[in-house]
Structure 1
Amino acid sequence: MNELHVYWNAYHKPTKAINHLISAMAQPTSVKNNSPPDGGWGWMIVAGCFLVTVCTRAVTRCISIFFVEFQTYFGEDYSRTAWIHSIVDCSTMLCAPLGSYVSNHFSCQVGIMIGGLLASTGLILSSFATSLEYLYLTLGVLTGLGFALCYSPAIAMVGKYFDERKALAFGIAMSGSGIGTFVLAPVVQLLIEQFSWRGALLILGGFVSNLCVCGALMRPIALKEDSKNSPELLKETYALEAQQKDPNQTSTCSPLTEDCSHKSLCYCSQKEYHFLLMPDFIILAISFLFLAYGCSPPFVYLVPYALSVGVSNQQAALLMSILGVIDIVGNITFGWITDRRFLKKYRLICYLIAVALDGLCCLFLPILQSFPLLVPFSVTFGYFDGAYVALIPVVTADAVGTPYLSSALGVVFFLHAIPYLVSPPIAGLVLDTTDSYTGVFLLSGFSMICCSLLLCLAKLAKKIKKTRMASIGTASDPEQKTWANGDVTHSATSA
C-alpha cells in the first residue's frame, strides 16, 4: 500500500520542469529586444493605438452631440444632463490604474479585448434608457470602465516600441481622437436624425466593439530595461531578500500556481509606483488637475453654445469636425517638431506653451457669436489641444522613465478623473445660475493657464536652485584639487 501511495503521488504531482513549462505557456508570446525597435511591428502598435483613441476619446467627445437630445427627451436641466459626459470621462480616468494593472500583470491584449466588450455592452444597453440615472450607469460607468481598460495600456505600448521617434509615434497614435471626432461628429448627427438617439447609440455600440480587434494587434515586447522592473522579477527579489533575513523560508511567488503574500504584493507595488515620490512627477501631477478641469467644458458646451447664438445643428456639428481635423494636425506636427534634436530638451516648454495658448482661446470664446467667428476658435483650440495631448505621454515618460510609463499613465489619467467628473456639472450650474456661457469658458481658460504657470514656475525654481548650487560649489573652494589613488581619495590645495 505504501508503494502504491508513493507511485500515486509521483504520478499526479507535477515536476518543477512541468510547472515551469505551464508558466511559460501561460505568458503571452513577446518579442525580445535590447532597445525599442523604433519601427517594424511598432507601426502596427501605432495603428492599433490610433484605433483605440478613435473608439474611446472620439466617441466620448461625440457624446456631447447627444446633449440636447437627452435634455429634450428627459426634460432635465443643463447640470443634470452634463453628468452623463462627466461620468464617462471620470470612469475612464478613475479606472485607468486598473487598466495599467491588467496590462502589467496579465496582458495588454486581454485588457483591451475585455474593455472593448464592456464599452460596447454599455453603449448598446444605453439605447434602451428610460431615465438619466439609467444612462449614468450604462453610458457613464460601464462604458467608461471599458474605455479605461483600453486607453492607457494602448498608449504605453507605443512608448515601449519607440524611443528616437517617440513624440511622432505618440502624435500619430493619439491623432485618432481628432480624426475620429472629425469623422464621427457629422455621422453621429446624421444617425440621430435618421434613427433617433437610441438608434445612434446602438450603432456606436457595434462600432466600439472593434476595440477587440485593436487588442489583438498589441503584441507584447520584452525590453532589457523592462526586465529589471517586471512584476515577476520584483517578486523574486522580494523572495530572495526575505530568504536572506529568514533562511528557513524557501517558498517563492509563482504567478500561476501560488498567490503572493501580502508583504510581497506591497513590495512589488512599492517598487512599481516609487515614482510617486519624485518631485518632478508630483508637480506634473498637480498641473494635470488644473488641465483636466479646464479642457473638458469646451468639448461639452461648444455645440450648445453654438446653437444658442443661432448656429444651425449641422454647422454646430461641423465646428466639432473642424476641431477634430485640426486636432490631428496638432498631434502629428507637434510630435514631429518636438522629436527634432534641437527641441528634445525643450519638450516640457513646448507642452506648457500649447496648454497656455489653449487657455487663451477659451478666454476669447464668449465674444465669438457667429459661425464665421467660431471657425477660427475651432482651428486654434483644436490645434493646441492636439499639441499638448500628444506631449502628455512624452513629458510623463521624461519624468518617470519608459519602464514605469504604463503605471505612471494610469496615475496621470486617474488624476484627471475628479476634474472630469465635476467640471461639466459645475459649468452647468454656472450656466443655470447666470444664464450665460461667459463664466463657463472663463473658468476653463484660467484653469488651463494656471496649469501652464505652475509648470513654468516649477521649472524656473529648479533652474535657479541648480544655478545657485553650482555657484556655491564653485565659490566654496575654487583652488581645491582632488584626485584618486586606488581606494583612497587625497585632497590638496595648491599654493
Structure 2
Amino acid sequence: MSERAAERRPSEGRRGPPVPDGGFGWAVCLASMWTNGTIFGLLNTSGVLFVSLLESFPGSDAFQTAWVGSTAIGVTFFCSTLASVLTDQFGCRPTAIAGGVVAFVGMLSSSAVTHLQQLYLTYGVLVGLGSSLAYTPSLVILGHYFQKRMGLVNGLVTFGSSLFTMVLPIVLKFMLRKIGLFPTFRVLSGLVATLVLCGCVYTPLIEKQRPRAVGDGTAPVNDRKRTFVEKIKKHLNLGIWRNRRYVIWAIGVPFALFGYFVPYVHIVNYVRHVMPRANGAALVTYMGAASGVGRLVFGKVSDFACVNRIMLQQLSFLMIGIVTTLLPVLRHYYALVCAVLVLGIFDGCFVALIGPIAFDLVGPEDASQAIGFLLGLASVPLTVGPPLAGWIYDYTGSYNAAFFYSGAPPIIGTCILFLVSLGRFSAEENVEKQFPFLTEESAPFHEKIFVTDEGPICWRFQPQNKCTTCVTNEHYRIYTVGQPNLHHTHRRTHQHTDRVHMASSSKLQESQKDKKNRIKSMFDSGTQVT
C-alpha cells in the first residue's frame, strides 16, 4: 500500500479483534442499508407529503407546511451528537433499538393529529429523534466489520436510501390517493417499526473499556457533581475539535447544506405550478435512482488510494450548487429530468463519503462522535433551508429566487473545503525534508522524532489513548515533548517506551543544526535521554 493510502486508513491502529471484512458483516451491512433506506426514504419524499399536507390543512401556507418535514430533517441531524454519545456509552444495538421505538411512536401518533402544528411534535420531533438514534449506530457499526472495503460498504449502505427514495414516492402517491393522509401514516409506522429489528443485528466487535466503580456510593454531593461533570466530559469527546482539518470539514459541509434539501421538498410543488400535467413525484424517484448509482460508484471509487475523498466531496457540492441554480430556467420536463439525475448522482457522492472521510480524519474510535458533531451542525441549515425557500415562494409567488439562493451555499462550501486539502501534507513533507534519515524503519516502536520551531516532536504511527498534549493529524499522534511535566504526563498516559526524548527545556536553546546532529547520533547509538 502506498504511503498516502496508509496515511488515509487510520483503522490500522485500532484495538480489538481483526476486522473480518465480510462474514456476518454483510448481514450488518444489509441491516444498516435498510435503516438508511427507511429513514432517508421518508425524509427525501417530504415533497410528496408536502402537497398532501397543503390539501389536508387548507389554512396553512407553504412556509408553515414546510416546517413539518424540515423539523424531522433537522432533529434527525441535530440529535446525532446525542446519538453518538449514547452509542459510545451503551453500544450500537441498544441505541438503535431505542431509536426504532421512538420513531414508531411518533409516526403512529401522527395519524391522530387534528392540527398541522401537532405534526411538528409527532412527525418532526419524535420521528426525527428516533431516526437519529437509529441512524448514527448504523454508520458506526460498519467500522467494526469492514476496513479495506469501507468505501464500497458505505456506498451499499447509503444506496438503501436511494432505493427507498425511488419506490416510496410511487407507493405514497398511491396510498394518499386511495386511503388518505392519516391512514398512510399508520402504514408508515409499520415500516418504521422494522428499525427495531435492524438494531438487533448490530453486534459490536470493539468493546468499550469502562472503569470499575469504586466505593460504596456514599461520596459527598460535591464529589458526585464533579464526577457527573467529568463523566459528561469523558463521554463527550471534545478532543476531536483540536484536529484542524476536521474543524474545517465540520464548518464547510454544514454551510454547503443550506440548499441541499430544497429540491427534495419543493420540486413536486414547483412542477405542479409550472407544468400542471407533469408528474412531479416521478422526479423524486429519478433523483433517488441516480443517487443510488452515485453512492455505489463513488463509494467504490473512493477506495482507490489515488483518490482524494475531500476533493471528491467538493466536486459533488459544486455540481449540486450549479444544477440547483439552473432549475428555474429549465422549462421543459425532460430538461428537469436530466437536472435531477445529475443532482441525484452527486448527492449520492456526498452521502457515501461522510463515513469514510470521518474515519480518515479522526480514526475509527473517534468516528462516532465526529459524525455526530458534523450532523448536529448540519441540522441548522437542513432545518432552515426548505422553510426559507417556502417563505421566498410565498413572498414572491415564484420558485425562481428560492432555487437561485439555494444553489449558492454549496458552491461557497466547496471553496471552504479547499482549506482541508491544501493543508494535507505540509507538516509531514516539511519534516521529511529536514530529517530524511528519520524513516519509518529507523524509528523503533513506529515512531519518528524530529525538531520543529516549537521544539522536539515525537511522531507515532499507531494511535494510542488520548493525551492532553496530543494533536491528532490523520492516524498519527503528534506529541510535543519539550516540557518535562507535560512529557511525563504523556508517557504515563500512553505507557510507551521512548527511544529519544528531550526532557530538559534548556536543551531547546541549541541550534537547529546541533539538534539534527545530536538526534541522528542518538538514533545511531540507541541512547535514551532522561
**What TM-score range do you get, normalising by the shorter chain?**
0.7 to 0.9
Aligned length: 429
Match of 1:434 among 393, 396, 415: 396
What is the TM-score with the length of structure 2 in the denominator? 0.76
Instruction: Provide closer, same or farther for how the CA distance between residues 140 and 338 of structure 1 changes in structure 2, counting only shifts above 3 A.
Output: same
Structure 1 pair 434–464 and aligned structure 2 pair: CA distance change class (3 A): farther
**Structure 1 453/262 Cα, relative in aligned 2: closer, same or farther at 3 Å?**
same
Q: Matched residues in 2 for 1:394 and 1:99: separation?
A: 19
Q: Is the 8 A contact 2:265 2:386 kept in 1?
A: yes
Relative distance call for 1:361 and 1:118 in structure 2 (3 A) is same
Distance 1:138 1:479 in 2: 65
Between the aligned partners of 1:211 and 1:488, the Cα distance in structure 2 is 56
Distance 1:275 1:373, change over 3 A: same
Alignment match, 2:67: 83
**2:274 counterpart (287, 302, 309):** 309
| Equivalent residue letter for 2:291 | D
Q: For residues 96-117 of structure 1, give each alpha carbon's deviation from its aligned partner in whole angstroms, at most 9, with x where no partner exists.
A: 1222222222232222222112
- Whether the 8 Å contact between 1:79 and 1:425 is mirrored in structure 2 is yes
- How much is the aligned-residue C-alpha RMSD, in angstroms? 2.6
Equivalents in 2 of 1:35, 1:274: separation in Å?
26
**Equivalent in the alignment of 2:381:** 419
User: What pairs with 1:144-155 in structure 2 (closer than 5 Å)?
Assistant: 144-155=128-139
Q: Secondary structure at the match of 2:52?
A: helix
In structure 2, what is the equivalent of residue 35 of structure 1? 18
Equivalent residues of 2:46, 2:264 under 8 A apart: no
Identify which range, 438-447 or 190-199, moves more after superposition.
438-447
Distance 1:458 1:106, change over 3 A: closer
Which SS does the other structure have where 1:340 is aligned?
A: coil
Range with greater deviation from structure 2 (326-335 or 361-370): 361-370
**Deviations, residues 64-93 of structure 1 (Å, cap 9, x unaligned):** 211122122222111111111111011111
2:45–2:168 Cα contact (<8 Å) kept: yes
Residues 117/455 of structure 1: CA separation in 2 closer, same or farther (3 Å cut): same
- Residues 361-418 of structure 1 show CA distances to partners (whole Å, capped at 9, x for unaligned) of 1121111122111110111100000011000111111111111111211111111111
Q: What aligned pairs does 1:377-456 form with structure 2 within 5 A after superposition? A: 377-456=339-418
Partners of 1:231 and 1:472 in 2: CA distance: 40
Q: Output aligned runs, 1:43-442, within 5 Å.
A: 43-74=26-57, 75-222=59-206, 230=208, 232=210, 235=211, 251=215, 261-262=227-228, 264-266=230-232, 268-269=234-235, 272-312=237-277, 315-343=279-307, 346-442=308-404
Identical residues among aligned pairs (%)? 28
Q: 1:147 to 1:427 in 2, by over 3 A?
A: same
If each structure's helix is expressed as a fraction of its own residues, which one has the higher value? 1
Residues 268, 281 of structure 2: 8 Å contact kept:
yes
Tell whether the 8 Å contact from 1:231 to 1:268 is kept in structure 2 after alignment. Answer: no
CA distance in 2, matches of 1:461, 1:337: 23
Inter-CA distance 444–160: structure 2 relative to 1 (3 Å threshold): farther
For structure 2, the 5+ residue unaligned runs are: 1-14, 218-223, 437-511
Is 60-69 or 140-149 further displaced after alignment? 60-69
Q: Is the 8 A contact 2:316 2:346 kept in 1?
A: yes
CA distance in 2 between partners of 1:276 and 1:488 (Å): 33
Letter in 2 for 1:180: F
Amino acid at match of 1:318: A
Distance of 2:123 and 2:232 partners within structure 1:
34
Structure 1 stretch displaced more, 107-116 or 73-82: 107-116
CA–CA distance in structure 2, aligned partners of residues 86 and 66 of structure 1: 12
Q: Which has the higher contact order (CA 8 A, sep 6+)?
A: 1
- Cα pair 2:93 2:203 within 8 Å, conserved: yes
Return the alpha-carbon distance in structure 1 between the equivalents of residues 516 and 74 of structure 2.
58
TM-score (norm 1): 0.81
Give the whole-Å Cα distance in 2 for the aligned partners of 1:451 and 1:36.
34
Match of 2:527 in 1: 487
Aligned pair in 2 of structure 1 residues 425, 477: CA closer, same or farther (>3 Å)?
same
| CA gap 1:308/1:468 in 2 versus in 1, 3 angstroms | farther
8 A Cα contact 2:79 2:376, kept in partner: yes
- For structure 1, the residue ranges without an aligned partner over 5 or more in a row are 1-31, 240-249, 254-258, 490-495
One-letter amino acid matched to 2:238: Y
SS at match of 2:84: helix
**2:89, 2:235 within 8 Å by CA — same for their partners in 1?**
no
Q: Distance in 1 between matches of 2:216 and 2:259?
A: 48
Alpha-carbon shift at residue 461 of structure 1 (Å)? 4.9
**Higher mean displacement: 177-186 or 89-98:** 89-98
Higher mean alpha-carbon deviation, 477-486 vs 404-413, is at 477-486
